[in-house]
Amino acid sequence: MKKNYFKSSSGSLVLALIVTVIAIIFHIDFWNWGKHNFYFGWVPQEFLYRAIFIGVVIPLINYLIQKISWPVPEEYEKNREGKKR
């Protein structure tokens, strides 16, 4: 039996791809180009945006992809079903 590792059991691989493409678009942040705002007196706007994006948004997307789209191994499913009985 051939295993398909590129499709999860819930079929949400497309959702993960869409969220990843949206994250790439937001990572470009073209709306901040040319702005020279400083926060807290010394932090440039683009640095603060990137720090929040990389420190908060990307880990949340990673968690979403792992919980929703990552296929569960068959051995884990069998062990989990055995413990429920």
Q: What is the pLDDT of residue 56?
A: 92
6 in Cβ contact with 58 (< 8 Å): no
Mean pLDDT of 11-20: 76
Please say if the pLDDT value at position 15 is more than 90: no
Query: Could you tell me the pLDDT band of residue 84, with boundaries at 50, 70 and 90?
Result: low
Q: Sign of dihedral through CA atoms 12, 14, 20, 25? A: negative
- Report field, pTM of the whole predicted structure over 0.75: no
Residue-wise pLDDT tens digits, 25-74: 888 877 777 778 888 888 888 888 888 889 998 999 888 888 777 666 66
Determine the distance from the C-alpha atom of residue 16 to the mean position of all C-alpha atoms in its chain, rounded to a whole number: 7
Q: What is the pLDDT of residue 27?
A: 81
Alpha carbon distance 30, 36 (integer Å) = 14
Residues 6+ apart with CB under 8 A from 13: 6, 7, 69
